[in-house]
Amino acid sequence: MKLNARLCTLLLGIAVLNSGTTFSAENGGTIDLTVTNGTKHLKLPVVPAEEFRVFRTTDLSLPFTPAAPGTVTGYDWLQPAASGFEFFRVEVQPKSPVAVLNANLLSKIAYGSTPDDLDRLAQIGADAYIQEQLAPETIQETLEIDRVIPSTGDWQYVTTTGTASSGSLYVYLTQPGECYLDDVKLVRGAVAEVGANVISNGDFETGLTGWIVDPIYSNSVVVSTVQHAGASSLHIIGTDAGSSSGTSIRRANLSVTQGQVYTLSYWYKPVTGTRTPPLVVRLSGDGIRSTPGTLATKLADGTGNLADLTAWHALHAVQSKKQLQEVMLQWLENHFVTQQRKSRDYFDGRVPDDTEDAVATNLEFRELQHWRAALQNPNVTFLDLLTISAESPAMIIYLDTVNSRGNGSNIANENYAREVLELFTYGVDNGYDQNDITVLSRVWTGWSVRLVDHTNIFNPFAPQSTTLLPGATNLGRTDNLDGVWTFVYRPENHNNTTKILFPGRTVPTRFGAPYAGRNYEFRVGGSAGTNSNWQQVTATGTATSSTLYLYLSGAGDCFIDDIQIVPGTIPGGGTNAVRNGDFENGITGWTVSANLSGSRVQNQQVYSGSGALHLVSTSAGSSGSTSIRRADLGLVNGQPYTLSYWFKPGTNLNSTLTMRLSGDGINSTPGGGTNSIQEGYQVLAHLADQPFTQEFIAVKLCRLFVHDNFQVGYDFTDPNLSEEGKLVRACMNAWENNMPKGQIRKVLAVIFNSQLFRSQDGTMQKVKTPFEFVVSAVRALRAQMQDGTYTADTDGYGLVSPMNRMGRMRLFDREEPDGYAESGVPWISAGTLTERLRFAQALLLANGASGKNDAANSNTDPIRLLKAKLPTADWNNATAVANYFLSILYPSEGKANLDEYRQLAEWYLNTGDDGVSQNSFALLGNTTTAYDTRVRGMVAMLMTFPRFQEQ
Amino acid sequence: MKNFNILTRRDFLSHAGKLGIGSALASLVDIPLVAKRALAQTNALGLNGKKVLFIFLRGANDALNSVVPVQDPAYYTSRPNIAIPMDPGANYTATGLADFPVNTDPNAPTFSYPYAIRLGNGFSALHPSLKFLAPLYNSGDLALVHRVGYPRQSRSHFDSQIYWENGNPGNNVSKDGIFYRTILESGLANTAPLTGVSFQSSLPLLLRGSQAAMTNLSDPNRYSLLGIPNTTPGNAKADAAIKLGSGLPFPHKLSRDLLALQYQNMNSTMELFASLTANNGPLSTAGNTYVDDVNTDGDTSPYYLFPTTNARNGGHALHANNPAKYVVPTSAYGFIDDLRAAAVVLNKTDAIIAGTEIGGFDTHSNQGGVTGSHANLQRSIAWAMYALKKYFTNYSDKVDWNDVVVVTLSEFGRTTIENSDVGTDHAEAGVMFVAGGAVKGQNKGNPTGVFGGSPGDTVPWVPGATGSMFQASSRYLKRSIDFRSVLGKVIRDHLGATQQQLDRIIPGYTVPTEALKNGGLSTRDATQIMGEPNIV
């Protein structure tokens, strides 16, 4: 039902005195009007509404006038019956479109609203917010979670405040390794080093007294040569990864009061180098947990593991003002999905033991940071983002390109070729077939990874690192070497044939102008080249004969000029052994087989001089009897020679040129070599802006930002194209008509300005993914207080397990290449809903309460929030408190639609913990536990409703 | 205080009717199973009262030390340190019932028999840790399906587990699981409260897919909500509020029907679980009182069926806390608890498929022989089967032992020849254990309960140094049965799928070149296979 009009007449009913007869409305359908026991009962329509207004008249020739108030509860209007005929009309006052749009923006281009965002958006307006979010580079923000502490190798101070969760303290490294530790202190309160230190001998002045050292740390010693203060410090030496009791250096039975605030502090120092050690100091139960160097430092150093990256990513989603950027980063991560675990498997044996997680995580982190950087560019295109994914070692490993070979008789792995079409660009069954996948798979052969020196991180031709790790000796094993794993190109694995993609294919008519009928065939590599210019081809090898063969792998033609074979390894660097290699003397000296008898030396297409060979083949050649050849080179077998020639594709070249010595000592086809890396980039550029890609990506973005009912396959020429189809088309137009093509911001702007996005059609039509659910739950109650603290917060780590339980959503670690679903069906079952509800409830539980583990280290304080936002007089007003939380949890809903929720919330506030007894909220002391419990319970209740699953 | 309009059953069904799913719901929600069967009047998949319980043995079980080819001399020459010796007093070529080495002395260790247990098929034998499989074998309730695999076997755990779970060998991008598709084909996936359920850390690919969410419970005891305060009345208050609030009318939203349906499912399932847990109910930890109906293993009392504590583990408590009287290793308690939950859910609810997993089978080093790490792991398999038979027989509710087929999966077998670390590496064909009252084992439709494990098979086990154990390459047992034929047989002939449904559940099932149904040449890797074993 469309409710664009500010005031909408919906229905008309006639009540007949005391009879219960109902009549139908003249527009907008019917409503029930019943009269029983002297009461009129009007069933109000369940439509988006701020307010329902009831009008009456006794005679249709007279105007309607407001009915006497009656009683409205939910969708029921009741009034004592009067005598005589009455006609009723109900008017629906919709919620203000501005408020709806603001709510839509925060639920879609942000990870849900925060109380502060709602206030801010009401001030600056939707359009300003959209502009700002589309240009994240203009948003000034410095987040603590992004702070990288440049390590100097000197002593560093660390302090963390938290709530004591136990009396057991664990110290360990998450990887084998070592560092120094000194002056460990744990004091009551939020100020470091003020008050009694509950850790005796935390300064290691009396050796290891009081400390329990588990076996993997048995090499650790207290040393007097290095110390922060006093005479000694602890030199931690771990042979394996630590994690808790049994694999740590630890204290038991510390005299702490559980549930109270304590502050931990200590000093640490790397043993060698400046890299921050992967040190953890924490209480059992994680009430206080400290890892030096900040999350960002660990991730930048390459020591962070998957949990660190997930937490960091989630914290950005919770905290960052650049909300759209975070939404887009998650979308990119999920669209170009990779699996951290697959990289971990790959690195097993290739990196030092127990560092697989960190090395694999680093690939995911770098990929994410590349996208983040790209999104700062106002003109960033889909091709830019696609290219980052293609070059990401995580992707190269995930979809098996890493070992794919197409040289010789090797058959390339099709995995990436399939998914780049099916999932990353065109969409399934949209413009390609199996043959295209097979051909495309050859393009990616050679795209691989290698451990290189840090300075070579962006050099795809870099050799393997030769820097040994401390204590390592074997240069032949990558787990002995220092460096960084990065994308490299291995031309020796590449398939150098000509690849013809989408042969003869044209864009289907359903795409309409300007796309329909476009030929999108694409030739790349081998003898096809990518342009029709002359190109030089070189190959070095060892002479096996003095006979040179030229032939094509099938029918076709091409041009050849200036063939040289010289001693040594430098093209043209010596006396040419190929007489008349420049075809200045016609075909003299060359023997031409029958299948090449159409070949001519001509002067229209030459590289230099006045003659070049136009090689024309009717069928495949292979050697002496099917080639153009000469056998008088006079080479010395076993000696090195270099072949070079100039090559230009012909008009009908579907096959590959081979030029080789008999015996294959030198064997050359155009293409190959380091230049063949370009084939991949050229293919990406071709795929990125095809209408299939435009459509598929536009559909996915519309599903992300509007609702799930967008499909690939619209007939864009249909005059009755749906609103959804029209929006997809508008996105495609923005993609196609701006230069460069494929600018993401242009496409997003179309969506955000569309009526589908801005109206009720785009309101709460989608189900949150587990990630969106946990992040939005924290944000919903997160307001900044005057002292800079927040009324809701999380450490990020505590969101990992809940997301897993809500349907196995493991960020950066999806098994299947289709990414996590946007639609609700795969996420919502009885079991996963239970997990969602438990999370919301645990989130609202006070810290330390039983059941809190379901939302560990994620805390909310709705009482502090309401006291900051409501006047003191309302703190014990159940209606005011209920309305406030309804307004921040369900900001897009009209008051009338929330009426029954408000009643339920008030019932909750006014009912004892037994769920039965009346217990007035107004009479609760607003600093009591009972008040705290009542408010938390009510807010948790609202967040467990289906309504909060939607966005 | 107003009376809230709770979405009534009638409202709910009429609501669901608009979604086109009302009919399935109407036949499934809140109707006693007997009536439902009558209502359904069908043998249809999901409605015929038949169920499957799966156990995935992660890490690749060493099949050759489970069902041991004692009459293949190459077995002993290949495994000098880890082979299971033959009992000098037993005739392994004789046919008939299997031996069941029950202890005659109640004080003797549970696993005191140190030899391969004679199976009576004249060729193969059981690892002694599998002794509790013997009674199932002898009653014909057990099929040991040997030499199972799939074409072009991957030796990566990662890929091979995907293939076993998606039923689509060679396709590691297929996104849904074989049991997920089974339930989807039943048409119940998005209508019945609980259809497929797993009890493990997270939902396995077997049950994952894009058109419906199955249920995984990482802890069978956490299927309830919290209140604030998190007390019994506090929880009740929260539950009541959620039931009221989730049924309130609301302007239509695209996802609301789905949410309404699944909230309803959640509420029904939670009530079901609550009733199963309340008052020391069958699913509660305290309700885990299931015991054998006979004095187990020659001991003086029946053993507990689902040992999750030392005190309930075999004859431990009966014999002065003697660890030698355990029936499963103490490390298996988590697995046993999950197994129990899967069994109870199948027995007490309308779930069709339930299961769990047990890890640790990647025995590259020091795997042991008669005793050791692999022996310990196998004790859990055998006891699980034994306990499930007793549970579904003695405590039968919605289903009994004849309605349930228990099936194990494992991604591949291990190398024929032991390695220098006295372990075994990744290889090809493995073994599946299939148990149930409906299984056609020894003397129950088949002369033997061993399939694919003897020289008399259609694709015979060829003994010797160039025989079956070395045919896939020098160290790999070659498959003679595709695992899809085993699962396909169970899904069609037990769960009631039609052949057409099965063709969708297992893609390519009747493609002649796959030879899954009738056997023949599997052309993908030119291997003769036997087709469906006649196990149910």
Mean pLDDT over A478-507 rounds to 93
Q: What's residue B172's pLDDT?
A: 65
> Residue B173: pLDDT above 50?
yes
> Residue A378: pLDDT above 70?
yes
Nearest residue, CB atoms, A834 vs list B172, B244, B266:
B266
And the tokens for A283?
A: 């209480």
d(CA A216, CA A172): 10
| Longest CA pairwise span in chain B (Å) | 84
Q: pLDDT per residue over A532-572, tens digit each?
A: 678 888 888 999 999 999 999 888 889 999 999 999 989 99
Instruction: Tell me the pLDDT band of A10, cut-offs 50, 70 and 90.
Output: very low
d(CA A72, CA A74): 6
Q: What's residue A529's pLDDT?
A: 53
Q: How far are the Cα atoms of A572, A589, A634, B271 from residue A562, in angstroms, in the given order?
A: 10, 14, 18, 85
> Residue B101: pLDDT above 90?
yes
d(CA B482, CA A644): 54
And the tokens for A779?
A: 């944000």
Q: Do A949 and B255 touch (CB under 8 A)?
A: yes
Arithmetic mean of pLDDT over chain B: 88
Q: Please check whether residue A403 touches B, CB under 8 A.
A: no
Q: pLDDT per residue over B182-225, tens digit each?
A: 999 999 888 788 899 999 888 899 998 888 888 888 777 777 88
Residue type, A917: S
Q: pLDDT per residue over A384-405, tens digit each?
A: 999 999 999 999 999 989 999 9
Q: What's residue B124's pLDDT?
A: 96
Q: pLDDT per residue over A163-219, tens digit each?
A: 899 999 999 998 888 899 999 999 999 999 999 999 999 999 999 999 999 999 999
Q: How far are the Cα atoms of A820, B26, B132, B174 from residue B382, in angstroms, in the given order?
A: 38, 40, 5, 32
Mean pLDDT over A835-849 rounds to 95
Q: What's residue A528's pLDDT?
A: 65
d(CA B412, CA B468): 16
Residue type, A701: L
A619: how many CB neighbours lie within 10 A of its CB?
14
Q: What's residue A239's pLDDT?
A: 85
CA distance A518 to chain B (A): 31
Beta bridge partners of B191: none
The region of weakest confidence among A674-683, B78-87, B307-316 is: A674-683
CA distance B376 to chain A (A): 24
Q: Residue A666 in contact with residue A641, Cβ under 8 Å? A: yes
Q: Got the DSSP string for A590-659?
A: -EE-GGGTT-EEESSS-SSTT-EEEEEESS---SGGGSEEE------TTSEEEEEEEEEE-TT--S-EEE
> Which of A353 and A834 is assigned the larger pLDDT?
A834
Nearest residue, CB atoms, A907 vs list B1, B227, B231:
B1
Beta bridge partners of A250: A170, A212
Q: Please check whether residue A936 touches B, CB under 8 A.
A: yes
Which residues between 378 and 397 in chain B have a beta carbon less than 8 angstroms from any beta carbon of chain A?
none
Cis ω on the peptide bond leading into residue B229 (within 30° of 0)? yes
Quote the radius of gyration of chain B (alpha carbons, Å): 24
Q: Give residues with Cβ within 8 angstroms of A513, minimum separation 6.
A: none
Q: What's residue A6's pLDDT?
A: 30
Q: How far are the Cα atoms of A54, A178, A798, A857, B187 from residue A279, in angstroms, in the given order?
A: 68, 9, 19, 20, 52
Q: Residue A168 in contact with residue A250, Cβ under 8 Å? A: yes
User: What SS3 class is residue A554?
Assistant: coil
CA distance A347 to chain B (A): 14
Mean pLDDT over A324-336 rounds to 98
Q: Please check whether residue B269 touches A, CB under 8 A.
A: yes
Which residues between 179 and 238 in chain B have a beta carbon less than 8 angstroms from any beta carbon of chain A?
190, 193-194, 197, 201-203, 205, 208-218, 222-231, 233-234, 236-238
Strand order in the sheet with A535-542: A535-542, A640-649, A556-567, A612-617, A600-602
Q: Which residues of B touch A29 (CB under 8 A)?
A: none
Strands (E) located in A690-818: 792-794
Instruction: Tell me the pLDDT band of A656, cut-offs 50, 70 and 90.
Output: confident
Q: Please check whether residue A898 touches B, CB under 8 A.
A: no
Q: What's residue A271's pLDDT?
A: 85
Q: Please check whether residue B175 touches A, CB under 8 A.
A: yes
Q: pLDDT per residue over A732-786, tens digit each?
A: 999 999 999 999 999 999 999 999 999 888 899 999 999 999 999 999 999 999 9
Q: What's residue B367's pLDDT?
A: 94
Q: Which residues of A touch B246 (CB under 8 A)?
A: 944-946
Number of helices (H) and strands (E) in chain B: give both, helices first. Answer: 13, 14
Could you say which DSSP state residue A422 is in? I
Pairing status of strand B196-198 against strand B353-358? parallel
Nearest residue, CB atoms, B263 vs list A708, A818, A833:
A833
Q: Which residues of A touch B266 (CB under 8 A)?
A: 830-831, 833-834, 837
Closest of B153, B160, B130 to residue B142, by C-alpha: B130
Mean pLDDT over A820-849 rounds to 91
> Residue B10: pLDDT above 60?
no
> Residue B27: pLDDT above 50?
no
Mean pLDDT over A650-673 rounds to 84
Closest of A436, A444, A438, A442 to residue A520, by C-alpha: A436
Q: Residue B125 in contact with residue B70, Cβ under 8 Å? A: yes
User: What SS3 class is residue A934?
Assistant: helix
Q: What's residue A7's pLDDT?
A: 31
Instruction: Tell me the pLDDT band of A92, cut-offs 50, 70 and 90.
Output: confident
Q: What's residue B268's pLDDT?
A: 83
Instruction: Tell me the pLDDT band of A574, cut-offs 50, 70 and 90.
Output: very high
d(CA A710, CA A833): 25
Quote the radius of gyration of chain A (alpha carbons, Å): 36
Q: What's residue A31's pLDDT?
A: 67
The region of weakest confidence among A472-476, A905-909, B440-444 is: A472-476
Q: What's residue A860's pLDDT?
A: 97
Q: pLDDT per residue over A275-323, tens digit each?
A: 788 899 999 988 898 888 788 988 998 889 999 999 999 999 999 999 9
Q: Give residues with Cβ within 8 angstroms of A434, minimum separation 6.
A: none
Q: What's residue A370's pLDDT?
A: 98
Q: pLDDT per residue over B223-261, tens digit each?
A: 788 888 899 899 999 999 999 998 898 888 888 888 988
Residue whose entry in the numeric block shows the structure tokens 């299997």: B98
